Amino acid sequence: MDKGSTKRQLVLAPGLAGIRRYKSREYRSKRQILSPGAMVRFRHPFTGKQAYLEVEDISGAGISVEEFFERSFLLPGMVIPDISIEIANSFILNCRAQVLYRNVVHNEDGRCIVRCGIVFLDLQAKDQVQLSAIIHQSVDDKLRICSSVDMDELWRFFFESGFIYPSKYLSIQAHKDEFKRTYKKLYLESPSIARHFLFQDKGQIFGHISMLRYYSNSWIIHHHAASRSGYGLAGVSMLDEMGRFTNDVHMHPSAHMDYLMCYFRRENRFPNRVFGNTARDIANRKGSSLDAFAYLWLPAETEAETQAFQLFPARDEDLAELARRYESMSGGLMLDALDLGAASQEDTGLSAEYASQGFKRERQVFCLKMDGRLLAVIVLTISDLGLNLSNLTNCFHVLVMEPELLSPGKLFSALHALRAHYGADEPPILVFPEDYLDRYSVPYEKKYFLWVLDTGYSDAYFDSIRNTFKRSCDDQNDE
């Protein structure tokens, strides 16, 4: 610096090599090196200058980049409000991001370079899908995420895999045109409320699983099927692909993925092994839980019992009482997953999102009382036919709190009073606890288990999945 000069240069050095944004995880997002490679573009938040860097590797959670040491400008903790990623001059996504670490290394020429990790703070739904599709297909070109589907091939697969069996087909036959319209929108228009995963080779589908955001922060896993010929592990591949996708995106606020849930019957061996074992292996009902429901159709209306009951829209104090009773009965995650917390029952925004994408979703919560005493909470969910092929999004959920005081006659009378909300549809009924109907010797068609996972327990989930299939292999080797 010349004597008398007014110019100064300020050199800053980061005080930390890295920060921790999230708690450490054993099962982290897999990093991929893409070909062609990706570029990242953003405006530096301190200097205002436009920056362009090559992406060294990428995952569903973030990227790593490299700079020459003498020109490095990324600092751990620095938030980048708007970062864009491009591949072959084509825009892929933009989002908010943060620099996590800055490591100084030497390349093969001995030159000092800086390697930085950047985490995505949030990705919009379309960007989650776009990025995951690119990464997963770079791992296995037979994997598809939310790709357009040949609908004739999809229906062929559902029938040939046995997913749609004769009795299920009879139950949907009268409404098959409506089912087809619903599935066309789900699989060809990529709505933000649904995800589907395929294992496909040369145009033929061998595996399928899908997810539906039907509650504010919960996604239902359903419609898992695999071909009986061709690729023997296609069903497992679908489960793994879905797991890796949720592991990548569940921390993003716009994913609304605090919980994963799945209804299954114990006779269905695969989900019982996978989800049942997960709940048992985690052994913490606040991490993963199972609750059993009796499934039946509303019996014909009979003469009402003389003792009157009242139906009211549920209030926060009713849901608080439900929470206290459920905690003593189960202590699981069902109420959180079904938006039945005292502060979480308002979900009109999700219903509006459904409507904006051409789908129907309505939800109302009632309390059934007698002499001012809360006997049961009844949840009405109304959706397009076929959104779930077992109609579990178009049904009554009945949570009985006073089984000794609530006779089935009163309950069925209350359900008949609410039946008009469904128009011409015949909604099934899910009753919790399932032994309520056993108490009164009321027959029911089958029993469903509702499995719920807090996605914060993702490491424990993947440990369980790994152990489940290791146990299966060991059992086969012992035979």
Give 220-243 pLDDT, tens digit per residue: 999 999 998 878 789 999 999 999
Residues 463-467 have a mean pLDDT of 92
pLDDT band at 135 (very low <50, low <70, confident <90, very high): very high
Please determine, for residue 5, whether its predicted confidence score (pLDDT) is greater than 70: no
Burial 61-79 (b: 16+ CB within 10 A, else e): bbbbbbbeeeebebbbebe
pLDDT band at 304 (very low <50, low <70, confident <90, very high): low
pLDDT tens digit sequence for 199-225: 999 999 999 999 999 999 999 999 999
**CATH class entry, domain 38-122:** mainly beta
What is the structure's pLDDT at 53?
95
Query: How many CB atoms lie under 10 A from the CB of residue 378?
Result: 22
pLDDT band at 473 (very low <50, low <70, confident <90, very high): very low
Query: Residues 33, 118: contact at Cβ < 8 Å?
Result: no
Please determine, for residue 452, whether its predicted confidence score (pLDDT) is greater than 60: yes
Query: Residues 102, 18: contact at Cβ < 8 Å?
Result: yes
- Any idea which fold 288-454 has? Aminopeptidase (3.40.630)
Q: Identify the helix (H) or strand (E) that includes residue 80.
A: strand 79-87
Using CA of residue 211, residue 213, residue 219, residue 222, what is the dihedral sign?
A: negative
Identical fold for domains 38-122 and 127-257, yes or no, is no
CATH number for the domain formed by residue range(s) 127-257: 3.40.630.30
pLDDT band at 479 (very low <50, low <70, confident <90, very high): very low
Tokens 């009163």 found at:
410
What is the structure's pLDDT at 430?
98
How far apart CA 60 and CA 252 sit, in angstroms, is 11
How far apart CA 92 and CA 96 sit, in angstroms, is 14
Please determine, for residue 472, whether its predicted confidence score (pLDDT) is greater than 70: no
pLDDT band at 3 (very low <50, low <70, confident <90, very high): low
In DSSP terms, which residues pair with 291 in a beta bridge?
A: 450
Give the CB-side neighbour count of residue 141, counting CA atoms within 13 A. Answer: 3
Burial 290-328 (b: 16+ CB within 10 A, else e): bbbbbbbebeeeeeeeeeebeeeebeeebbebbeeebee
pLDDT tens digit sequence for 393-449: 999 999 999 999 999 999 999 999 999 999 878 899 999 999 999 999 999 999 999
Spans of all domains in the chain: 38-122, 127-257, 288-454
Please determine, for residue 1, whether its predicted confidence score (pLDDT) is greater than 60: no
Amino acid at 256: H
